Chains A and B, each alone.
Chain A
Amino acid sequence: MKTTGSQENEGLLVRRIKNGTVIDHIDGGQALNVVKILGITGTTQEALSIATNVPSHDMVRKDIVKLTNRELSKEEVDRIALISPRATINIIRNFKVFEKKGVEIPTLIEGLVRCPNPGCISNTNEPITSKFEVLPKGLHCRYCDWVITRDNITGHII
């Protein structure tokens, strides 16, 4: 694939995007969960490219997600930190990196994860969204005190 600019062409698995977001340095195997967190389904309009288990100097293997014509907000970006804290976000405009940023682990997550406790009030028809405090070991339900450990978070994403 021939591209312009200084970027090394060889090894690119997917075409560069003109406008949108490239999420790089995702922990190997987590790309599909990143896509899930971003709410991208088969019915959304964005063109999406996913590369998984790409060799990486820093990480041994990493995943990459490229999303055309959509620039992620800070809130969306920070949600990714829950499952891939080393991810980097590149906002692309006209084939160039317009902005590069890391992800910050948020202190509170709302509406992203369902509480696994069937007796929790957040699993009823009440007009609330789930609320979890982010702790070093996982997510703590603000309603019923249930804790989802870090390695179980992806299974509870709404």
Chain B
Amino acid sequence: MSFESAMARLGGTSLSVGSVEACSMAKGETLADTVRVVSGYADAIVIRHPKEGAARLAAEFSTVPVINAGDGAGQHPSQTLLDLYTIRQSMPVEGIEVALVGDLRYGRTAHSLASALFLYNARLHTISPKGLELPATLAAQLKEKGMEITEHDSIDEVIGDVDVLYVTRIQRERFPDSASYFNVASSYRITPELLAGAKKRLIVLHPLPRIDEIDPRVDESPHAKYFQQSRNGVPVRMAMLMQVMK
């Protein structure tokens, strides 16, 4: 929706093909064909797709610029740009300490953000349920380049040290039953009590939608920047669209 809002604010219009289930792909059309057709209708394509690498495939077949708005459990680069912008509104990004919390295995926003933060010499702290850790390949790539990544068992271990708490949703379907989900999810919940031990400049970010990860009482805290982060999606995506279509 934020891409549509961004396009509207730029004075353009957007054509939505809807979900994969709702468009020609449900009839068996390949993504390659869909992209070839749609690139004849539009000046740019913004694609969100359940398969990793879908945007790269789309770029191979499109005659217009393609923006990756999320590919499966892969990457979400436009979210990362607005994440960085939101951080920069509060502090310089260079050398900050960032905690990534939640589902880091399937959470594409965390993958893109971790890769981008490497460019700013940031240090990463990861806190995730067993089996949902940052993908080993990505962690190895970043460590090989020199990024410092430390795994922790709980948020309490790092809350006093970090500048950014980046919280992601833990999806219920990753667990065998509701009880085990609630058990894990509750231990990753951000509360005002937890934030009492945080640095003054700490900001809490979340790509949204949130479910139970952040206590609504945190919303009024000066640390809470996730709605500002969401709003930033519009100007950042306006800039991206302008950039690729100029």
A interface, CB within 8 angstroms of B: 117, 119-122, 124-128, 141-147
| Residues of B45-85 contacting chain A, CB below 8 A | 49-54, 56-57, 60, 71-75
A128 to B51 CA separation, bound complex (whole angstroms): 14
Known: A119-B73, A143-B52, A144-B74. A126 touches B137 (CB 8 A): no
Q: Are B53 and A120 in contact, CB atoms less than 8 angstroms apart?
A: yes
CB closest residue in chain B, given A142: B56
Contact A120–B51 (Cβ < 8 Å): yes
Question: Could you jot down 21 A-B contacts, CB within 8 Å?
Answer: A119-B51, A119-B74, A120-B51, A121-B52, A121-B53, A121-B56, A122-B53, A124-B31, A126-B30, A127-B32, A128-B32, A143-B53, A143-B57, A144-B52, A144-B53, A144-B71, A144-B74, A145-B138, A146-B137, A147-B137, A147-B140
**Quick check: A143 and B30 within 8 Å, CB to CB?**
no
- Across-interface contacts of A124 in B (CB, < 8 A): 31, 51
Answer yes or no: B221 CB below 8 A from chain A CBs: no
> In the complex, what residues of A have CB within 8 A of residue B49's CB?
121
Tell whether B90 is near chain A: CB-to-CB under 8 Å: no
A22 to B50 CA separation, bound complex (whole angstroms): 46
Q: How far, in whole Å, are A145 and B75 apart by their CA atoms in the complex?
A: 10
Is B187 among interface residues, defined by CB-CB distance under 8 A?
no
Chain A residue with minimal CB distance to B115? A145
Would you call A121 and B57 a contact (CB within 8 A)? yes
A119: chain B residues at CB < 8 Å are: 50-52, 72-74
- Chain B positions within 8 Å of A121 at CB level: 31, 49, 51-54, 56-57, 71
Any A CB within 8 A of the CB of B180 = no
CB-based nearest A residue for B50: A119
The 8 closest A-B pairs by CB, nearest first: A143-B53, A144-B52, A121-B53, A144-B53, A121-B51, A119-B72, A121-B54, A119-B52
Give A142 to B51 CA distance when docked, in angstroms: 14
Closest to A117 in B: B52
| Residues B73 and A126 in contact, CB atoms below 8 Å apart | no
Count B-side interface residues using an 8 Å CB cutoff.
21
Contacts of B74 in A (CB 8 A): 119, 144-145
User: How many Å lie between the Cα of A147 and that of B138 in the bound state?
Assistant: 9
User: Cβ of A141: which chain B residues have Cβ within 8 Å of it?
Assistant: 53
Residues in B neighbouring A125, C-beta threshold 8 A: 30
B13 in the interface (beta carbon within 8 A): no
Distance between Cα atoms of A65 and B14 in the complex (Å) = 59
**In the assembled complex, how far is the CB of residue B143 from the closest CB belonging to chain A, in whole angstroms?**
13
Q: Is the CB of B73 within 8 A of A145?
A: no
B191 within 8 A of A: no
Contacts of B75 in A (CB 8 A): 145
Q: Choose among A121, A141, A146 the residue with the greatest number of B CB atoms under 10 Å from its CB.
A: A121
Additional pairs, 5, CB under 8 Å, beyond known A121-B51, A128-B60, A145-B138: A126-B57, A127-B30, A144-B74, A147-B140, A147-B141
Closest to B56 in A: A143
Residues of B within 8 A of A122 (CB): 53, 57
The docked-state distance in angstroms from the alpha carbon of A147 to that of B136 is 10
In the bound complex, residues from chain A placing their C-beta under 8 Å from that of B138 are 145
Nearest-CB distance from B207 to chain A (Å)? 19
- Which residue of chain B has its CB nearest to the CB of A122? B53
Q: Which chain B positions have C-beta within 8 A of A127?
A: 30, 32
Q: How far is the CA of A119 from the CA of B70 in the complex (A)?
A: 13
Option from A120, A126, A146, A147 in Cβ contact (under 8 Å) with B31: A126
A147 → B minimal CB distance (Å): 5
Per the bound structure, the CA–CA distance linking A73 and B138 in Å amounts to 35
Residues of A within 8 Å of B137, CB to CB, are 145-147
